[in-house]
Structure 1
Amino acid sequence: MPSNTIKILAAVSLLALVALTVMPKVVGVGIEDTTVTNLVDLIPLQARDQVTITSNRFDSGWFSSSAVIDVDYSPFGTILGALPIAVQIILDIQHGPILFTPNGLGFGLAYVRIIPKLRDGELESALSQLPFDLPGVDIGLLAGFDQSLRVRLEVAPINYSDSQGHLFFDGLSGSFVSHGDNSAEFSLSMGKLEAEENGSTIGFTMSGLELTSSTSQLNHLLAPSSATLTIPRIAGGTPHPFTVDGISAESRLQTSTAGAAQTDISQRLEIASIDSEFPLNSISWTSEINGIQNHLFQRYYGLLAGLQTQISVPASPATASIQMNQLSQEPMLVLARNRLVFNNRIAASAYDGNHSIDLSIDWNGLPELDNITRLNLNTAIDALTVKLDVSLDLAAIMRSPAAEMVDPYVQQQYIRLDHGRILLNGSVEDGELVLNGELIPLDQLF
């Protein structure tokens, strides 16, 4: 019996040793076959026409491989003289399952050290003229057994001084995690950034930056997602010194409650404190766009692709003009035919007073419209519901350049006064304009 146990243990150990020996080669073959495909799969379908990924070289060994990949990103084609962003990515790949990472021993399918390099000679030449060396960039990718990808980014600090001034950058770190179900999270943290000119008060300081985002489906542009940005403080010197504290921004995208084929987008921007020569002390802005038709985004990216095609394969001026006109009309027609709700709220402190503006626009859509050129103004107004509420601090406005406009506007009943507030309430509904409770015929305005 003991001898059988020893034989079983020996066989298992031998199989494990064979697996550990053979698996790196199997992983290497798989990496060579799927590297470019996997990179393309990470890009949303709507943006793939803007990115070109080609394998320049791939050298595969038993325990490691190396590859060179060229990436060209053309978000706007060559519109307005814009050139594609060209990057060469050098990959130094360890084959799993046992991996040696900067954080120690790890386990997974592969660990990749990524070295990015610009392929733009003019930009490289310009960067070489800087009086200091560019910071080192360390990028590592760990491919897990569970189909996850974990990317780590580190950018080294900069501390440079000369007779003209100094530049301090406290470094940057980031991480990206893609899971087997294609959900993903991204985070970026930047340290203090400071630049100052010697012998003057000209300078700029950013105390830091935090950025996080997540998506339920990485390669789908309209999948539910969110992003947040925070900057504790930004300060600048002459000629217009300022200090801005508590900057935060948030964006969310989710499937609309009106239907799976629609998307809701919400955004928020807040600045808690502003100290400058200008009268604005703080601001908060929240906006929502509800019920966006998903195929509107498809038309938009189709328009971009059409623009790039026109540039790369130019037709005669007359033909190009007709084709571009047709392409641009398609998104406008989708927008005009379908319902859309737009809500905006702005709250601000200025001239030592608090003010707010609420604007709601409900576009009911014109589903029977088949050509954007047939859009009738009166029909469009009938399909539109607008509500506007403005509330301003009277004492603050009387300290502003707009003070002399208050009395005339009150006399003309454009605004009204109530308990120290300037109020304006307006709406457009069913083709009628109501301002502060008074009906105003629209034919007076058009």
Structure 2
Amino acid sequence: MKLLRLSLLCLFVLLLSTALAMPGIVGPKVEEVWKQQLGQNRGVSVAEYRRGWFGARATTALQARDGATELRSKIQHGPLLFTAEGPRLGAVYSETRLSTERLQPQLRAQLEQFYGRLEHSPLVLESLVGFDNRVHNTLHLEPFTRSDAGGKLKFDGGTLQFETDYRGAALDGTLQLGASRLLQGGIEKFRSAQASGKFHYVVAARRGEASIQLPQLHSDSDSGPLELHNADLQLNIQLLNSGLLKLVGDLNLPQVQSATPVTSLKQHLTLPQISVADLGHYLGALLAPPADGNWQRVMRRPLQLQQQLAIQSANGPMLVDADLDWRGLSTAARPVNMAPDQWLVPLTGDVTFAAAEQALMQSPLVGQAMTLRKYGLLLEDGDELQMHLQVKRGQLQVNGQPLPADLFMMALMGQF
């Protein structure tokens, strides 16, 4: 019995000695890899790294054109790690937060729009490196409740989890976005259920795919209520040799309830080549349209797209095919109201519209449809109405015939 107790005591001392010694062995290697990995990214630098026996503190600077953002990380050396979810065994664990004292001005404005004055970072990145060389990352987005003149907006927060090996050969992850709700004057104007998604990206192939599902969305506006059920978005992404991205997306809205006869919608969209900066620019404008209505500022950047849109209504289908190449507005262009023909100068493309006659004549577009039909711009083909638009070298053709852009807009708006 004494021999057993002595053996257990020796084993305990050995394990304790190993646990105390390992952080000192792991620490220098963690510092080396940390600086090496971050140093490979353009505009990223490790401003400070203070290493202790059981852990370290690091400060990382992200440089951008309009300012810098600072990240602060607390790092633990294994084997025993105290994570946000409890004790774990592994090589390294870190928590990284935004420094509220040093944020890129645009990023600060965007965050404070929802979170108010920042007392702490609303974003936290947890990273755990296991003994199997798998890297587990979890990005937490804090929930918020914001009240202003626009109403009371509540968001339940979100979580992005992604995993890879230490070489970063492939990236797999999941996304959870909490429910949100907007009240105006005590009346619910917007509500969305929790959204979920997943993604996979292979670094060597420079391509990946992602999917997002939204079970329910409800909004109420002056034009009436809108409710979507089981919305689904599928994305494919490819990094081209030019450094630009190719994106292919499929949006499926199988159940649409609104004040219009529309019952479902499908869209296939391709962006054949777009820079990360331009993609972020247009996504930002889509999510938050310019309050001053200055679309000239938004449309300064180039954009190529191909789209096939199929809308099913209670009275029949409507189809829109588009192939557009927008070269962007000159940065020297003054922010004044541009005539319709001026918008055509940087544009090349084709748009084909086709709809069942009853679908169009019993829709909110009936007024425009009747005007276009009256002037021969919307052609009849059996029970279908069709129109083909083509823009080339700043000139507009409707169904193969030249037409000044301002006259087409007057017909479209019913101003004849």
Q: Provide TM-score, normalisation by structure 1.
A: 0.59
Which residue does the alignment assign to 2:293?
A: none
The amino acid across from 1:58 in the alignment is Y
Q: Write the distance in 1 (CA, Å) between the matches of 2:103 and 2:278.
A: 27
**Does residue 1:197 correspond to 2:184, yes or no?**
yes
SS at match of 2:53: coil
The structure in which a higher percent of residues are strand is 2
Deviation at 1:248, TM superposition (A): 2.5
Residue 416 of structure 1: aligned partner: 381
**1:203, distance to aligned residue in structure 2 (A):** 3.2
**Structure 1 or 2: larger helix share?**
1
1:242 aligned residue (212, 217, 225): 225
Q: Partner of 1:59 in structure 2?
A: 50
Alignment map for 1:26-425 (pairs within 5 Å): 26-41=25-40, 48=41, 51-72=42-63, 74=64, 77=65, 83-84=66-67, 86-118=68-100, 119-120=102-103, 137-159=123-145, 166-180=152-166, 182-198=169-185, 201=187, 203-217=189-203, 223-246=206-229, 247-253=231-237, 265-277=247-259, 280-288=262-270, 344-350=307-313, 352-357=315-320, 391-399=354-362, 400-401=366-367, 402-403=369-370, 405-406=372-373, 409=376, 415-417=380-382, 420-422=383-385
Change (3 A) 1:149 1:403: same
Q: Give the TM-score, by structure 2 length.
A: 0.63
Report how far residue 409 of structure 1 moved: 4.6
SS at 2:254 equivalent: strand
Structure 2 CA distance, aligned partners of 1:195 and 1:24? 49
The match for 2:336 is none
Which residue pairs with 2:395 in the alignment?
Answer: none
One-letter code aligned to 1:103: E
The answer to whether the 8 Å contact 2:93/2:126 transfers is yes
Tell me, in whole angstroms, the C-alpha distance in 1 between the residues paired with 2:264 and 2:238: 29
Cα distance, 1:197 vs structure 2: 2.5
Closer, same or farther: CA 114–360 of 1 in aligned 2, 3 Å: closer
Does the C-alpha gap of structure 1 residues 391 and 301 become closer, same or farther in structure 2, counting only changes over 3 Å?
Answer: closer
Partner amino acid, structure 2, of 1:284: K
How far does residue 52 in structure 1 lie from its aligned partner after superposition?
Answer: 1.6
Does the 8 Å CA contact 1:163/1:198 hold for their aligned counterparts? no
- Gap regions ≥5 residues in structure 1: 42-47, 78-82, 257-261, 305-327, 336-341, 362-385, 428-434
Higher-Rg member (1/2):
1
Specify the SS of the correspondent of 2:99. strand
Pairwise CA distance, 1:169: 2.1
Once residues 64 and 357 of structure 1 are traced to their aligned partners in structure 2, the CA distance between those partners, rounded to angstroms, is 58
Letter of the structure 2 residue corresponding to residue 356 of structure 1: L
3-state secondary structure, aligned to 1:237: strand
Deviation string 1:11-35 (CA, Å, 9 cap, x unpaired) is: 9887765543332112111122221
Q: Provide the C-alpha distance between the structure 2 equivalents of 1:404 and 1:125, rounded to a whole number of angstroms.
A: 45
Q: Distance in 1 between matches of 2:48 and 2:258?
A: 55
Amino acid corresponding to residue 345 of structure 1 in structure 2: Q
For residues 340-392 of structure 1, give each alpha carbon's deviation from its aligned partner in whole angstroms, at most 9, with x where no partner exists: xx97432103574212345689xxxxxxxxxxxxxxxxxxxxxxxx9997642
CA RMSD across the alignment: 5.0
Shift of 1:6: 12
What displacement does 1:264 show? 7.1
Task: Report what 2:23 is aligned to.
Answer: 24
- Contact 2:253/2:264 (8 A) holds in 1: yes
Tell me: CA distance 1:424–1:89, structure 2 relative to 1, closer, same or farther (3 Å).
closer
Give the gaps of 5 or more residues in structure 2: 280-300, 325-348, 391-397, 404-416
More relative contact order, 1 or 2 (CA 8 Å, 6+ apart): 1
Deviation at 1:231, TM superposition (A): 2.6
Structure-2 change in CA distance of 1:197 and 1:409 (3 Å): closer
Q: Is the CA contact 1:36–1:53 (under 8 Å) kept in the aligned structure 2?
A: no
- Provide, for residues 237-291 of structure 1, a one-character-per-residue CA deviation record: whole Å limited to 9, x for no partner: 34444323133321113699xxxxx9975311223344445565532111357xx
Distance 1:241 1:207, change over 3 A: farther
**Structure 1 residues 52 and 359 mapped into 2: Cα distance closer, same or farther (>3 Å)?**
closer
The Cα of 1:226 is off from its aligned counterpart by 0.6
